[in-house]
Amino acid sequence: MSKRFQLNIYFKRNNRACMVFKRNGILYRINNLTEAKAFVQEMKDISDSVGVGAEVNSYLELKDHRARTWVLECVLEGYLMSVQLWFQSKSSGEHLDVRFSWKGAKEEFLTVVHALSIAANEDRVYRLHKEV
């Protein structure tokens, strides 16, 4: 069971972001994630479900500006949360490769997603102040 799970998001223009998945110093980055705000909201919705004890088995499709696609799997198994990021590279044919994987306490997942939503909100506030 891995510790020290992080999700970092760095917003760009046009609802894009650099998304960084991090576990024990190992990171995986999606540089131009599209629909970044929707991604943060979907993660918050998953977190809300985990928080109330609902069964969670969610798959999110993530895309970048070049239309490359990743699948983010979030599964709650008892008190353990599993997060895996899958990508289909040209060399793998139709097979999806795991690019990031974390399994840990659901409380750690809740903390990470809460921090992600705060970062997203702070960026929105910063951009509003910057535009004024």
Residue bearing tokens 């899958």: 86
Q: Rg of the chain's alpha carbons, rounded to an integer? A: 15
The dihedral built from the CA positions of residue 52, 53, 58 and 63, taken in this order, carries a sign that is: positive
The pLDDT tens digits for 18-50 are 999 999 888 999 999 999 999 999 999 999 999
Tokens of 38: 């929707």
Q: Which residues contact 41 (CB under 8 A, 6 or more apart)?
A: none
Q: What percent of the chain has pLDDT over 70?
A: 89
The answer to whether 41 touches 27, Cβ cutoff 8 Å, is: no
CA separation for the pair 66, 128 (Å, rounded): 28
In this prediction, residue 129 carries a pLDDT of 42
* CATH no. for 5-131: 2.30.31
Q: Per-residue confidence at 92, pLDDT binned at 50, 70, 90?
A: low
Q: Whole-model pTM?
A: 0.86
